[in-house]
Amino acid sequence: MNNELYNFIKESLGKGLSREEIYNVLLKAGWKDQAVKEGLSVFADVAFAIAVPRPKPYLQAREAFLHLVSFIALYISAFSFGSLLFEFIDKSFPDSISGDRYHDPSRLSTSLAAIIVAFPLYLLMIRYLKKSESVDPEQRESKVKKWLNYITLVIVAAVIIIDLVAVIANLLGGELTIRFILKALTVLYIAGSIFWYYLWDLQKSEKNT
């Protein structure tokens, strides 16, 4: 629900105005009928000094499903994008010792197919979830979302740390090749982008509450 609408209805009910009066004035102000009805339904129709909110059932199973699908699509997209870039690096900078021993032609087509399916699904789910949050700001406080966000931050933070450790270890061992550097940068870029986005999203949610 829109915050302005919610606050207006809450204050109006608290001042003793009738639901019919609030309904009519909001329609005259340009609010949609459905939005006004949903706003009024949030508060119980009881006589009290202040507006009394109704207990709101939270659809945790549905919410968990939507968030899990979005995160699974994100993980598949990130892994496939990294695998795709690894293929290009291996092709551009072949290993003179191992040659094409680690090259798998099917990996390229599999990675492309996964990105084509998973990434649009991820964008679609994020768009839907963000739209739901704008309609119902309480969804920003979703425990399922926060848990999955923090789990993702932990995973990508671990990947970044392991990636940096591997770079430093190879540097100290004198085995730092251009192929390894590019692959390490690829992992750092993908993991860093995901980490930054979800950290920013969490901070934004906390500021809005």
pLDDT tens digit sequence for 161-175: 998 898 888 888 777
- Gap between the Cα atoms of 45 and 127, Å rounded: 34
The tens digit of pLDDT for each residue in 53-81 reads 766 555 567 788 888 999 999 999 999 99
Tell me the average pLDDT across 40-54.
Answer: 75
Q: List beta partners, residue 43.
A: 53
Query: Do 62 and 118 form a contact (C-beta atoms < 8 A)?
Result: no
Give 156 or 38, the one with higher predicted confidence: 156
Highest mean pLDDT among 36-50, 106-120, 131-145: 106-120
Q: Residue 136's pLDDT is what?
A: 67
- Gap between the Cα atoms of 203 and 108, Å rounded: 37
**Closest by CA position to 185, among listed 75, 86, 80, 76:** 86
Query: Do 23 and 13 form a contact (C-beta atoms < 8 A)?
Result: no
Return the percentage of the chain with pLDDT > 70, whole number: 83
Q: Residue 65's pLDDT is what?
A: 87
Structural domain boundaries in the chain: 1-56, 60-207
Is the pTM here over 0.85, yes or no?
no
Q: Residue 120's pLDDT is what?
A: 96
Using left for φ > 0, alpha for ψ between -120 and 50, and beta otherwise, residue 187 falls in alpha
The yes-or-no verdict on residue 95 having pLDDT over 80 is no
Q: Residue 96's pLDDT is what?
A: 62
